[in-house]
């Protein structure tokens, strides 16, 4: 299941975590513009929450592209409330951690929330390259 704003209510916390963790670890780069971290950044990069927003949905959020937290967008009825604490925590991993610590930070999120870490294990043992 590819989770978007339209399908977020159908997803489990594990599915949200797996999609975001896989996205961040494959991308292995911060999504940013000149203004800082961004839902959609230069070169097509996406942040932790940005990978949960389809291109079509992003068009409606374009003025919220930078500077608005996920919780702020919830309070303005721009995104659904479901999984908001998890998504906010994953956003902090993206926005406030060095890329080379994402694997460890994501593991911490999974551990605190009682989520399966198989997706992280697959990156740490095969394809994750610190950069």
**54: in domain:** yes
Number of domains the chain contains: 1
**122: in domain:** yes
Banded pLDDT at 85 (limits 50, 70, 90): very high
**89: in domain:** yes
Q: Are 33 and 44 in contact (CB under 8 A)?
A: no
Q: Is the pLDDT of residue 62 over 70?
A: no
**3: in domain:** no
Residue 104's CB is within 10 A of a number of other CB atoms, namely 12
26: containing domain = 8-127
**2: in domain:** no
State the sign of the Cα–Cα–Cα–Cα dihedral 101, 102, 103, 107. positive
**1: in domain:** no
Tens-digit pLDDT profile for residues 66-84:
457 788 888 888 889 999 9
**20: in domain:** yes
């Amino acid at each position: 299941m590819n989770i978007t704003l339209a399908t977020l209510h159908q997803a489990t916390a594990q599915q949200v975590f797996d999609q975001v963790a896989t996205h961040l670890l494959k991308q292995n780069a911060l999504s940013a513009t000149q203004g800082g971290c961004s839902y959609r950044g230069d070169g097509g990069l996406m942040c932790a929450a940005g990978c949960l927003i389809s291109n079509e949905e992003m068009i409606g959020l374009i003025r919220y592209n930078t500077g608005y937290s996920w919780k702020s967008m919830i309070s303005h009825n721009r995104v659904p409330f479901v999984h908001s604490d998890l998504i906010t925590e994953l956003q902090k991993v993206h926005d406030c951690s060095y890329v080379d610590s994402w694997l460890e930070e994501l593991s911490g999120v999974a551990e605190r929330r009682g989520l399966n870490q198989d997706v992280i294990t697959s990156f740490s043992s095969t394809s994750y390259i610190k950069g």
